[in-house]
Amino acid sequence: MSTFTILLGGDLIRAPRLDRQVKGSRVIAADAGIGHARLLGLVPELWVGDFDSVPANLPDDLASVPRRTFPAEKDQTDGELAVAAALERGATRLVLAGAFGGKRADHAFLHLSLALRLAEAGTDVLLTSGAQEGIPLLRGTAGFDYA
């Protein structure tokens, strides 16, 4: 099983449970989600987005992460683009860190919808802020344990 952590731009707090969930995973940041890499002590293998929300004063190891740049006018969110990159790299399990809260409530709703579509396609998904979690439950399934 190939687990990827997708760093999204929503709220995120570091907690022991979250540390266990992301341990050993591959990491892709979506635009402002790169700011969570410092918090979690992670260095993403890829950073995707239109880069309109880049945090200031990134340390050199994060500023030099390879980027895949997209135009601001696009049909997918930066988070969706990061998920697509993870799936291209063989992801079978996703931890969407920073999936809730933040300045864009519409993105949180899109993350929920995306998680359902991914689960329907057979990908295990956990949405988390470190303080709260969600997993898509499909009819006739028991869900997935991300303890």
Provide the mean pLDDT of the chain.
Answer: 89
Domain 3-134 has CATH 3.40.50.10240: yes
Say what the pTM is.
0.90
Q: What is the pLDDT of residues 11-50, one digit of tens each?
A: 999 999 999 999 999 999 999 999 999 999 999 999 999 9
Q: Residue ranges per domain, the chain?
A: 3-134
| Rounded mean pLDDT, 84-95 | 97
Give the whole-number percent of the chain exceeding pLDDT 90: 65
Contacts 24+ apart (CB under 8 A), 109-113: 110/77, 110/79, 110/80, 111/8, 111/10, 111/79, 112/136
| Rounded mean pLDDT, 123-147 | 81
